[in-house]
Structure 1
Amino acid sequence: MEVVLASASPRRLALLEQVGIAARVVPADFAEEAGSAAEARLVALHNAQGKCRAVAAAVGDAVPVVAADTIVVIDEDILGKPADACEAKAMLARLSGRSHQVMTGVAVRYQGRELSEVCVTDVKFRPLEAEEIDAYVATGEPLDKAGAYGIQGREALLVEQIRGCYNNVVGLPLSRLHMMLQEIGVGRSGEARQKLAGKGK
């Protein structure tokens, strides 16, 4: 199966490759919107749909277009990607020893049809020492991640408990995406494969 991935995220690309889905990466020219925690699901959904539609408008939807937007929610705030190391440290200190939610909006567009939904995972951090927060931020890894952390690699040491889809926290709920692709008519024939191969000539 092949898709167009409306994202420059190497983590999302790796997840797709992990389950045998080849992706042509076409980052979306779309300005993401922010919002309040009360609107968190709508924000994630809106951004995923916007990215999906922007890429479909640019390259067409003869091959399935997949887009996603992941946000971290705690208390009354949405935590996006930190602007700098100082903000990353503040986010991690706030998440330390507490539970929060990771929401990923996913949108799929194929041959004029579109499906979208939001997957939610509950995550709890273990208590973090200031020194280990400093050491983690010094690696630079938190700066391109919502909430200033991921769950793969060394970041796994931050997490004490998870309830829900692990891959959702990485950035793409694979099981739900698979079901959405099937529902929209992908994977039942070699049609998408043939069309993507034709575009590469």
Structure 2
Amino acid sequence: MIQQLLARKAKKLVLGSQSPRRKAFLESLHLTFSTRSSSVEESYPPDLVAEEIAIYLAELKFEALEQTLKEDELLITSDTVVWNNNTSLEKAANKEDAIRMLKALSNNKHQVITALCIGDSNKRWTSYEVTEVHFRELKEEEIEYYVEHYQPFDKAGAYGIQEWIGLIGITHISGNYPAVVGLPTALLYQGLIEFLED
């Protein structure tokens, strides 16, 4: 359905990310797209919290690529924030940092907030999805095994829900599973329809 709308509007999709997980989701939606990435520094004003951070960074990524857009291109950018105890858990800098984050998430619930930005050279649509994730108490050796074998340094909060630690440690999620992986597909689908039918 989206592909037909894109054809009718003579638009080509561009994913502003090199994330293999985000690419796989777009492929699962049977969308034809190209990828483009920027080397934008993912920093934000210190007064921002939770969804404000995710929205700011998704829009920052959009703005970094906006000048590269051709008239017939529609850009999608996204950012995921792990929000735990009023703190944003970024990508881990090293093994010790990843272990510290996972210990903070152990036996706790946190929010995963993923923001989406869809736009072309004329207009932009932004929204976000919040999912609550519950971890059981993780043993220190489980955390160390995961960090050693999966090296989750490219993921906010130092974990992937679809990886070993998620499979053995997450007891409950309330919200959208794909959003935790990195792309809220239902929100993306609705956002593309709204954007293209406007």
Q: After TM superposition, is the score higher than 0.5?
A: yes
- Aligned-partner residue type, residue 191 of structure 2: M
TM-score by length of 2: 0.88
Task: Return 5+ residue gaps in structure 1 as ranges.
Answer: 189-201
Which deviates the most, 107-116 or 83-92? 107-116
Q: Return the offset for 1:29.
A: 3.3
CA distance in 2, matches of 1:61, 1:50: 20
- Aligned-partner residue type, residue 25 of structure 2: L
Q: 2:78 aligns with which of 68, 76, 81?
A: 68
SS of structure 2 residue aligned to 1:185: helix
- Aligned-partner residue type, residue 184 of structure 1: F
Percent of aligned pairs with the same amino acid? 34
Residue in 1 that maps onto 2:154: 144
Q: Return the offset for 1:35.
A: 5.3
Greater helix share, 1 or 2? 1
- Aligned-partner residue type, residue 152 of structure 1: Q
Residue in 2 that maps onto 1:180: 191
Residue in 2 that maps onto 1:114: 124
Q: Return the offset for 1:110.
A: 2.6
SS of structure 2 residue aligned to 1:142: coil
- Aligned-partner residue type, residue 30 of structure 1: V
Which deviates the most, 64-73 or 48-57? 48-57
1:100-159 Cα offsets, whole Å, 9 max, x none, are 000011100035110001210000001100001000000133111100001113232221
Contact 2:59 2:117 in 1 (8 A): yes
Classify 1:40/1:4 alpha carbon distance in 2 versus 1 (closer, same or farther; 3 Å): same
Contact 2:15 2:75 in 1 (8 A): yes
Residue in 2 that maps onto 1:53: 63
SS of structure 2 residue aligned to 1:64: strand
CA distance in 2, matches of 1:4, 1:182: 16
CA distance in 1, matches of 2:23, 2:16: 10
SS of structure 2 residue aligned to 1:122: strand
Q: Return the offset for 1:31.
A: 1.9
When the two chains are superposed, the root-mean-square deviation of aligned CA atoms in Å is 1.8
Residue in 2 that maps onto 1:198: none
Residue in 2 that maps onto 1:32: 42
Contact 2:83 2:112 in 1 (8 A): yes
Which deviates the most, 15-24 or 118-127? 15-24
SS of structure 2 residue aligned to 1:148: coil
Contact 1:37 1:75 in 2 (8 A): no
Q: Return the offset for 1:34.
A: 3.8
CA distance in 2, matches of 1:55, 1:32: 14
TM-score by length of 1: 0.87
Q: Return the offset for 1:60.
A: 3.0
Aligned residues: 187
Q: Return the offset for 1:76.
A: 1.9
Residue in 1 that maps onto 2:17: 7
Contact 2:69 2:121 in 1 (8 A): no
CA distance in 2, matches of 1:9, 1:71: 15
Q: 1:21 aligns with which of 27, 31, 49?
A: 31
